[in-house]
Structure 1
Amino acid sequence: MAASVAGALAALGVLAPVSSAHAAAESPAHRLVYVANLRGNSVTAYDPSTNAVVATIPVGTAPEGVAVSPDGTQAYVVNDGSNTVSVIDTASNTVAATIPVGRLPGPVAFSPDGSRAYVGHYVNPRTGGVDVIDTATGTVTTTVLVGSQPFGIALTPDGSRAYVANLLGDSVSVIDTATDTLTASIAGPGVRSPAAVAVTPDGSRAYTANFNSGNVSVIDTASNTITGNIAVGSGPGSVSITPDGARAYVANQTANTVSVIDTASGTVSDTIAVGATPVGVLADPAGGTAYVTSGRADTVSVIDTATNTVTATAATGRNPYGLATATVAPAVTGVRAGHGPTAGGGTVTITGTHLSGTRTVLFGTVPATGVTVVDDFTVRATVPPGTAGGVDVTVATPAGPSAASGAARYTYEYPFSGFRPPVADPPAVNQGHAGRAFPMKFSLGGDRGPDVIARGYPTVRQVDCATGEPLAPPTPAGTAGNSGLRYDAVTDTYTYVWKTSASHAGTCRQFTLGLNDGTTHTALFRLT
């Protein structure tokens, strides 16, 4: 038995495919599919909304299984050749930690609350083990001994039990997760080489893909007995159930097909041709889609579950294997051209991650008047009208809004009037005597408070009288009698009285007013 499995999968360098654990249904959202590339020593992050690879993440040697935490923040990747789990931060698509586990690990699944992860591995020719990882500390807290060569793990929706498909043990082990003890071992006639297992959303049944039997066993989880076997294609190695529990999708590795089981009748309702050597299958917990990794084709196929047709195929790394989906929230890391007039109308470029699903861009609470998605990292938006001052810029995808941050700000500029008489704006050069005080008057279209001048301003510096080029660094502009900034509500005028120095006689000076909207305004003076 073991030899026949090994022969069928010799090209992949492994014994059998790992299952894709079932996850709870959720609302449609922007998602990424994480694919473990067995011979690529990497994980492909695939965006089905654009049919594009958004990241290729180096991990350990021979990654097989992958699972995403219930909150979508981490992907656990099991490295068969490194005896480790790589923990991927889904926000940055980088490896944040590495967890040592048992020898030759394969499958992985999370508890519904995300507090634990379960990793199956080899112990000896007759025995396998399941390491229980405390996800808060990233450490293995215990190991539960199960049947030989665990190749698939799935938990019940309430998290009370873990079902483990033992490839060489011809059995399914049942673990009580409260006590981390083995409570049952399920076997039966016609069940040879169970390579994967999935549990229905209501927890009433478990389905195992039996690689060497060419069938799928149905287990009643109340009695932990096999109630029937459903014939599928040859070499079934992975099984996944739709979020409504109505269908089970089975990857038939040596038939290059996917069988669709109607769970109500227990019969195959459809057969779908896919790429060479379909190793893993995953019915998206969001519904509507199933994904299939084809080990020899180095691709992932996208199946529309409404029509059971392949709608897209994308390249992955070498020998794609296990896969999982993550709901990924967007993040904004910068806003280019981050200031403009209160009338809006300008275009800004927003940079970040997971932006390809952007539907709305908000400036404060006001939506942009136009949004263009460039790629997963860039969005352009037309600025709506606003009031003077700074606002947070956030983007919203079906996965939710981005968080506010100091890097994601836009400043509506004050409607600066220009300097009022007796001072004129450039290119005019104001004439005056050194040592005189100049009233620098301006309006901002209303009273903006006493702190409208930015820290470190106003300044003054010597410039070349012919070219205007700076001749010295700026220095603080003194004020007459420390009068500072005043506001007159009747005339809507701010006044800063700049007291020049008698030593400036015979030079040209540039006065610069910086405002807390990020803008600067200058006036030129020739002092005699």
Structure 2
Amino acid sequence: MMKPVGLPLALMALCAAGSPDSAALTEKVLDVPGFADFLAVDGNTVWTTNDGRVEQWSTGGKIAFVTMPKPCGAMTMGFGSLWVGNCKGGEVYRIDPQTAAVQATIPAGIGPSGELNVVSGAGSIWAPDQTAGKISRIDPAINSVIATIDVTADASYLAFGFDALWVVSGKGQTLQRIDPATNSVTHSLTLGKMPGFLAAGEGAVWVQEQGEGTVAKIDPVTVSMVGRVKVGDNLKWGDIDTGGGMVWLRTTDDQTFVAINAASMEIVTRAGKASGSGALRYTPSGIWTTAHDLKTMSWWSHAPQ
């Protein structure tokens, strides 16, 4: 199914010199049985969590899968592997993306909520231990936790960027900065209602304030609030990424995703129809989104001119 959508953006940069109709995206919809949700980009393919498995997809269809008890949360690619949280057992799974083989399972306190991130940075993999209020730091050279860091209770949302780990607690309404050189919290900032997924890129740390319907922009140097962008009534159960000068939001209400100009903090695109909860990942060539309630995944790319 190919559905052309007129949009005022190019994926590498906003078409500032062109008219609103000077760029378009085509949505290619893939039927994905089960509950396709979180995404990790792997070259021209993408991995998604699903019921009892993670799957690798291209625009041509499913390529591979790996059985897991309960894959959950946003995954990461790093150190030649795919890293996935398992909410039924609490481990981080290390998977070889070339062979679809499990290389290691590392106890890390993952879960119980699937609203979480596993991320890479500073030579490590980072995973939230939500119940204990700690972050687990995993050394990929030995596939073991080498440090645990105390954070706000119920913290589960992570991002790495600007030489730091950034941690959000939804219930605690905080953003914390962790210095990987010392494994300690250096700053803590109070956020709006129900903060959730975040991204570090395009000059700032960006946090979904799900209960407010806003995206908060944080200066990574001063760890202070720069401003907020109002997107809708709420931003519950969506996702966020950065790239190409934009902040990209998978939304639940009103549209499939939104693009915000990172410099001007203006919404420049509202694309697609509301399609329930799902995830999003940016690539320079296009955008991947999932809609697990519709059992679909979409690839949004430039339409032929």
For normalisation by structure 2, the TM-score amounts to 0.81
Contact 2:28/2:300 (<8 A) preserved: no
The whole-number CA distance in structure 2 between the counterparts of 1:294 and 1:165 is 24
Q: 1:239 to 1:152 in 2, by over 3 A?
A: same
Residue number in structure 2 paired with 1:327:
284
By relative contact order (CA 8 Å, sep 6+), the higher-ranking structure is 2
Code of the residue aligned with 1:163 in structure 2: it is W
Contact 2:255/2:270 (<8 A) preserved: no
Matched, 1:100 2:67: yes
2:208 to 244, 247, 251: 251
Matched, 1:122 2:87: yes
Q: Could you tell me how far 1:93 is from its partner in structure 2?
A: 4.5
Residue number in structure 1 paired with 2:289:
none
2:57 to 78, 88, 109: 88
Q: Which has the larger radius of gyration?
A: 1
Q: How does 1:322-361 map to 2 (within 5 A)?
A: 322-328=279-285, 356=302
Q: Could you tell me how far 1:196 is from its partner in structure 2?
A: 1.4
Report the secondary structure of 2:117's partner residue.
Answer: strand
1:173 to 136, 151, 171: 136
Q: Could you tell me how far 1:117 is from its partner in structure 2?
A: 0.2
Contact 1:275/1:301 (<8 A) preserved: no
2:120 to 144, 155, 165: 155
Residue number in structure 1 paired with 2:150:
187
Deviating beyond 6 angstroms after TM superposition, the runs of 4 or more aligned structure 1 residues are none
Code of the residue aligned with 1:133 in structure 2: it is I
2:223 to 238, 262, 266: 266
Contact 1:152/1:195 (<8 A) preserved: yes
Report the secondary structure of 2:37's partner residue.
Answer: strand
Q: Could you tell me how far 1:277 is from its partner in structure 2?
A: 3.4
Q: Cα deviations across residues 401-447 of structure 1 (Å, max 9, x unaligned)? A: xxxxxxxxxxxxxxxxxxxxxxxxxxxxxxxxxxxxxxxxxxxxxxx
Q: 1:88 to 1:275 in 2, by over 3 A?
A: farther
Residue number in structure 2 paired with 1:482:
none
Q: 1:139 to 1:205 in 2, by over 3 A?
A: same
Residue number in structure 2 paired with 1:142:
104
1:109 to 76, 79, 87: 76
Residue number in structure 2 paired with 1:75:
46
RMSD of the alignment, in Å?
2.4
Report the secondary structure of 1:206's partner residue.
Answer: strand
Matched, 1:291 2:248: yes
Q: Could you tell me how far 1:142 is from its partner in structure 2?
A: 1.2
Q: 1:141 to 1:96 in 2, by over 3 A?
A: same
Q: 1:307 to 1:327 in 2, by over 3 A?
A: closer
Contact 1:65/1:107 (<8 A) preserved: yes
Residue number in structure 2 paired with 1:212:
171
Q: Could you tell me how far 1:311 is from its partner in structure 2?
A: 1.1
The whole-number CA distance in structure 1 between the counterparts of 2:138 and 2:54 is 21
The whole-number CA distance in structure 1 between the counterparts of 2:270 and 2:108 is 37
Residue number in structure 2 paired with 1:230:
189
Q: Which runs of 5+ in 2 are unaligned?
A: 1-9, 13-21, 287-298
Q: 1:223 to 1:307 in 2, by over 3 A?
A: same
Contact 1:59/1:86 (<8 A) preserved: no
Q: Could you tell me how far 1:290 is from its partner in structure 2?
A: 0.3
Residue number in structure 2 paired with 1:59:
32
The whole-number CA distance in structure 2 between the counterparts of 1:51 and 1:226 is 43
**Identity, % of aligned positions:** 18
Residue number in structure 2 paired with 1:131:
93
Code of the residue aligned with 2:108 in structure 1: it is V
Q: Cα deviations across residues 339-394 of structure 1 (Å, max 9, x unaligned)? A: xxxxxxxxxxxxxx9983xxxxxxxxxxxxxxxxxxx2x45xxxxxxxxxxxxxxx
The alignment covers a number of residue pairs equal to 270
Matched, 1:197 2:166: no
